[in-house]
Every structure is written in structure tokens, then in C-alpha cells.
Structure 1
Amino acid sequence: MIRHADDAPLMTLLRVGRIYAPEPLEQTDILIADGRIAALGRDHEVPEGWPVNLVEARELIAVPAFIDQHVHVTGGGGEGGCGTRCPEITAREIVAMGIGTVVGVLGTDGISRSPADLLAKVRGLRAEGVSAYMYTGAYRVPPPTLTGDLQRDLAWIPEVIGLGELAISDHRSSQPRQDEIARLVSDVRVGAMLAGKRGICHFHVGDGQRGLEPLRRLLSETEIPADQVIPTHVNRHRALLEEAVNYALTFDACVDVTAFEGAGEEGLSAFDAVVSLLDRGVPRERITLSSDCNGSLPEFDAKGTYLGMRVARNTALIADWQRLVHEEVLPLEEALGLISGHVARVLGLHDRKGCLAVGFDADVTLLNDALQPQCTFVGGRCLYDGR
């Protein structure tokens, strides 16, 4: 069931079987106070009369709550008309997968859905306890904004942490010129600096022939640092993934793999893509996973004519991640970074998320031995208990 965000006691003590912070710890107790981790230890005693909620979960594994940096929280789609708009995501659908933090995006449809609509949804999720952020903009150039200016969006709207998903190499994009891409990324960088944010530019990469070339040129021809530019959907097809290998190694850059449901003949599953990236020498710290959930998975023919669509879910994200551990591609402590610590670093949230440590946000997911999420705590609040 899902718990209301206001049902949190003053303090919570989690007693678990194991803690991966992401590295395995000897401690088995997590004391939470005021939404943060106050102490890690073993066999903590609770003084009589203290307002502490004791959670006994000795059979479960505590890990940092997962972070999904690409979620169509207001729903995506629309490529086949108004009847093909995807539904909004619910807080339950997020936390039931062990996800504590999401970043909302707009996609193809920046007309019937707007940054203001996205901001309202993000604030609604926050009211329900989910840690939610957003990218300003959408596929098109010039991007729609909240204040009429990218720098102001970054500087004045706390929930805005970057620009996205800006589309390149896709027949649905605005076909932006190279100088337009450079100007947008530069504006985001300055606005983020003024606000003390990372200022991510989250690029949707389609299956066009140009692939990652616009981003390669951006990093080669300007002073923009690679950690500000994140291409996603790099496993759309094998040739693009091969480009992503070269891009990551050449620029010491991060690439985001999408957990496509039913990847099809051209696309690769997130599992297959991560295996390939690792085999080709891309450091695991440069790889992240995201779901694209509640976005559309449209099908087009060779002429770009719409054929049909499915709605993406976040279940594939967790399933592919679990498979990486179960098939011993990565041990649990290293695999966690793909959906927690590495993502927190990419987003500039690594000083409070992606790790179970004193002073960090008390975003904790409890897993069973099959790595299936059983409970999700966000800011110390139990938002999901599926036991």
C-alpha cells in the first residue's frame, strides 16, 4: 500500500539484515530524523517514551532509493493525435519500484502539455512525498519555458535542474542548427551556475543518421564540459550504441541507457546495452539507466508515417537492473550506481542522494533476496510497504 507523506513520526529506526551504502556495511540499523540519516549502527536501543517508529525488517536489504532521471510524469505521446496521449504517472507507480527520486520531462508534445503543467505535477508528487524535479523545455527549439528565459528558469525555479529532453537526430525534432544547440547549452550552464546547480542538458537521441554527431561537435568546438551533456536512448539501435562507446571514451562522458520494454529488432535491452558498454571499456561510473516511463513507444514506417504506439513503464528498468546482478555482470554494490549513485552525480544531487550515509536524505529502498523492492522510504517517510 502507499502511505500518506504526512504520516511520518519524529524519528524512525530501520533494523535490516544488510546495508549496501552502496558498499556493504557492517551496520544493520538506520536511524532517521528530520528526513535525513542521523546514524548508522548495530543494535541501537530506543529509549522508552521516545517518539520513534521501529521498523523490523531483518530479512531485507537496505540500499539507496533508486533515481529515475527520465520520466514523463504528465504523460508523453500524442504522435498519433490527441487519442494517443499517454497517462500521467502516479506516486504509487513510482515508489512501488523502489524509486525515490524522479526527474520529469516533456517530449514531442510541448503544446497540449507545458512546463507549467509539468511543474504542477512535480509539485504534486512532492506533496505526496516523492522527491521530484524537472527539466524545462521539450523536444523543440526554441524550447518552451516557465519564465520566458532558460537562465531564469534555472535560477529562479528550485525544481528545474536542467533542459530536456531536447531532440536531435530525429524526424520529430526541430532540426536545430549547431549554433542553436551551443547557445541553449551555454544558457543553461550560466543559469545553473547562478543557482548553484549542475544544469544538465538531457538530449533525446533519435534513430537519424547524424546520431551523436551534434554532441561530438558541441564538446569539440566549445568549452562546454562533458558532464553537462547527457545523451539518452543510446541503445536505440546497435550503430548508435557503438557511437555511444566512442563518445563516452573520447570525452570521458556519461551516456544514459533506456530500459525499453520489448526492445524489438533494432533496439537493445538495457541489460544487453550495459553489457556491451562494459565489454567495450566504458567505465561503469559513466553509465546510467532510466525508464522513459509513461512516454510513448511509437512505431513509424520508413517515410515517418505513424503506425501505432505502446506506453512505456518503469518495470523494465528494475527487471533489467536485477538481471545485471543475478547474471553476475556486476555485483550489487557496483550495479546500484547505475540507478542511484551515478545518477545522483550526473544530476548534481550527489551531496544528499545516492548513498546511505549520515547527513544524506533518508531515501531508502528495502529489497528482498531476489532484489525486488518491498518498502520505499523517501525523506524518512514510508511511501510504500508491499510486505
Structure 2
Amino acid sequence: MLTGHPPESELLTLLRVGRIQAPERLEATNILIAGGRIAALGRDLDVPTGWPVRVVEAPDLIAVPAFIDQHVHVTGGGGEGGGGSRCPEITAQEIAAMGIGTVVGVLGTDGISRSPADLLAKVRDLRAEGIAAYMYTGSYRVPPPTLTGDLQRDLAWIPEVIGLGEIAISDHRSSQPRQDELERLVSEVRVGAMLAGKRGICHFHVGDGPRGLEPLRRLLTDTEIPAEQVIPTHVNRHRALLEEAADYALTFNACVDVTAFDDADEDDLSGFGAVAWLLARGVPVERITLSSDCNGSLPEFDAQGGYLGMRVARNATLIADWQRLVHEQVLTLDQALGLISGNVARVLGLHEHKGRLAVGFDADVTLLDSALTPQQTYVTGRCVYSQDSPR
């Protein structure tokens, strides 16, 4: 599929594909990449003789914006069962093989043996391997652990930090934060993000407790914080929470993040089922995102909260649920791409350069086959995964 193996000094890449979804279908079938960005889109694009160019001939593949996963335990999650229950780190290969070009790293229950500094180091490792990686500062607990000792300084001084998360609410593993504590955290992040020129979202882990989304409802009702800054995730834990998420999204014109659980108790609570259900309840597709929670733990607890065991979440479920939404005609391909690209880029504040195939945008491109299976992944023009390459 690749024509030759050009030296590192070559500057240009020309992708010749069968179809481009930007996410809407374009007339163009060629993508010219220069300096890590999309330089041109068109048909029969050519490069002057003598210019350094790598040509990728992929007439049977579909080019789409590389996927964005906003909830990844890049350093591994878990730890609820003590020693031996920590999940492993994720690799750049595991990310890119799913067509994912951008991830946001997150700490979960364990903010003790794993720290924001560990997370930042892993994010930078992934960047060195070609993945566009970012992170949330903080973890489940309140007050959250930080890199600099201050939320606003983390946002202002650390380029990779794009928000706070995942703060746990309605969960027996959370710090049971008071309402005023949540309001103070979100306001601190908002001002810090403004100073840094970032979106500064607050990414909230929602457990299966009876309070559900009530703390976030109160936050948006009682303060001036805009809904776009507050993102609840895992809203498909159980039916009552999913119903509340639909009402929350419609009442506040807010976004909700569905998790592609690979241990969903029933199909209606899978990533596929939850997205289909929210759409049927009238939630606009633009207000829904889909993430993996991969390399986090899937713990089991008894009725008293005692630890029973765990499995490790994988990102393959994210892609399988997304494919199913298209294959079963719940969404068209261009609509479905928003769930794991354009919508996510907007939520994270990356929409001016990611989540779309357009001139001037980062050359983050995933090539899919007719079954929507990723075959190649490019991040800022660099091929970080190819199905044909030895692994």
C-alpha cells in the first residue's frame, strides 16, 4: 500500500484514497500533507518533480478525521483491590491501532501511587511516539492532586493540561465533596482556563449512587458556570442514570459522555445502546460523545462495597460500538464521526485544529476499510499505525 520507504528528510505526504469524509463526504480524493497539517484537498493532486514526497496509494480506503478518546487511563487505572490490582499502562500502538490519534489521560481512584506527574510523563512519552496526548489534572478526590499545587497554575503553565478530572460524584469511592466544594473547583478551573486560552472542562466521573447528576444540576442552576464546561461521563451505568442524562442534556443544552463499557449488563447500556437510546429521547447527536475508559479497571463490589475482583477495560469496544451505530443505520457515517471526533474536539476546545479534515487543520487522518476497520492512522502527518506493518 505504501510506495517505497522515504527518508526522514522528506517533507510531504500525499494520500490518494477512495473517499474522504471530513466528516461530510467531499468530492476530493487526495490529501496533501505538509508540516504536519493538511495543505490541500482535491482530485489528482500532484507535486512538482524533485519535491520530497511520500505517496500513499489507498484507493479502497475511506479517509476520516482520526478519532479522539477523551477518557483514557494511560498510566493504568485500578488499585481498588490493593496490591496486584493496578491496571497496566496503554501503549501508543494500542491507541493508534484503533484509529485513535488523540487521547486525554486521566487518573481515577488511585491518586496516591499514581500522580499527575506520572500522568504528565506518560502523556509526553505518547507524544514522542506520535500520539497527540493531553491530560486532566486531578483524580477522583477532592481536593484534587495537582502538578504545581494550584489548579489555575496547572492550566496556565502546563500545555498538556486541558482541564480537571475525573472528579468522582455519586460513588462510594468519591471524596463525597460538598456542593460548595464542587462549585469552587469548577470556578477555579474556569478562570485558570481563561488565563491559558483553553476550554478548561471539568470531567466528572458519575457513579451508580442515587444522587446521580443532581450535584451537576445544582451547579448549573445555582451558578453562572456555562454547561459547556461541565462534562459528566459514564452516564450509561444504569437505566435511571441514562434517563437522567437525557433530561440533563435537554434541560441545560449540555453534552454527556457515554462510555463504551465492555462489561455492560445489557445491550441497552452498551455504548451502542446508550447512544441509540439518547437519540431516541431527542438528545441531538451534537450533544453526545463516546469514550473508552480504556486501561481503567472494571471492578466488582458486593452490596456493602467490598471488592470482589476486576477486569481491565480495552478501547476495542469503543470502535465496535461506533461501527455498529453505522452498520445498523442508527447514524450516518458523517453523524457518527462526531461522537468520536468533531463533537469531542469541540468539547475539549481543540476544534480549531482537530476533529475535521480541512486545509490548515492538523493532519490527523484515519484510513478505514469498507467495514469501518482502521487500516492506517496518521497524526500530524506521521503514520503511527499501518495494518500492513509488522507489529
* Same fold, judged at TM 0.5 (above): yes
Matched, 1:312 2:313: yes
Alpha-carbon displacement from aligned partner over 1:91-139 (angstroms, at most 9, x marks no partner): 0000000000000000000000000000000000000110000000000
Residue 387 of structure 2 is matched in structure 1 by 386
1:267 and 1:298 map into 2 onto residues whose CA distance is 20
Alpha-carbon offset, residue 46 of structure 1? 2.4
Which residue identity is paired with 2:31? I
Give 1:109-120 correspondences, 5 Å limit.
Answer: 109-120=110-121
Structure 1 pair 267–149 and aligned structure 2 pair: CA distance change class (3 A) = farther
Alpha-carbon offset, residue 257 of structure 1? 0.2
Name structure 1 gaps, 5 residues minimum.
1-5
Q: Greater CA deviation, 167-176 or 260-269?
A: 260-269
Residue 66 of structure 2 is matched in structure 1 by 65
- Percent identical residues: 82
Q: Please report the RMSD computed on the Cα atoms of aligned residues, expressed in angstroms.
A: 1.2
1:353 and 1:373 map into 2 onto residues whose CA distance is 18
Matched residue of 2:269: which SS? coil
8 A contact 2:267–2:273 mirrored in 1: no
8 A contact 2:220–2:226 mirrored in 1: yes
Alpha-carbon displacement from aligned partner over 1:286-306 (angstroms, at most 9, x marks no partner): 000000000000000110000
Structure 1 pair 7–87 and aligned structure 2 pair: CA distance change class (3 A) = farther
Residue 141 of structure 2 is matched in structure 1 by 140
Residue 204 of structure 1 is matched in structure 2 by 205
Which residue identity is paired with 1:286? R
Structure 1 pair 127–252 and aligned structure 2 pair: CA distance change class (3 A) = same
1:290 and 1:165 map into 2 onto residues whose CA distance is 13
Residue 3 of structure 1 is matched in structure 2 by none
2:45 and 2:289 map into 1 onto residues whose CA distance is 35
Residue 75 of structure 2 is matched in structure 1 by 74
Matched residue of 1:101: which SS? strand
Alpha-carbon offset, residue 8 of structure 1? 7.4
Matched residue of 1:82: which SS? coil
Structure 1 pair 82–126 and aligned structure 2 pair: CA distance change class (3 A) = same
Alpha-carbon offset, residue 265 of structure 1? 4.9
Q: Greater CA deviation, 40-49 or 348-357?
A: 40-49
Residue 371 of structure 1 is matched in structure 2 by 372
Runs of 4+ in 1 over 6 A off after TM superposition: none
Alpha-carbon offset, residue 267 of structure 1? 7.6
Name structure 2 gaps, 5 residues minimum.
1-6
2:371 and 2:60 map into 1 onto residues whose CA distance is 12
Alpha-carbon offset, residue 89 of structure 1? 0.1
8 A contact 1:14–1:57 mirrored in 2: yes
Matched, 1:105 2:106: yes
| Aligned positions, number | 383
Alpha-carbon offset, residue 9 of structure 1? 3.0
8 A contact 1:8–1:382 mirrored in 2: no
1:8 and 1:83 map into 2 onto residues whose CA distance is 45
Alpha-carbon offset, residue 262 of structure 1? 2.4
Residue 185 of structure 2 is matched in structure 1 by 184
Alpha-carbon offset, residue 245 of structure 1? 0.4
Matched, 1:272 2:269: no
Matched residue of 2:84: which SS? helix
1:316 and 1:78 map into 2 onto residues whose CA distance is 22
Matched, 1:246 2:247: yes
Matched residue of 2:265: which SS? coil
8 A contact 1:29–1:41 mirrored in 2: yes
8 A contact 1:105–1:135 mirrored in 2: yes
8 A contact 1:236–1:267 mirrored in 2: no
Q: How high is the TM-score relative to the length of structure 2?
A: 0.97
Matched residue of 1:336: which SS? helix
Matched residue of 2:324: which SS? helix
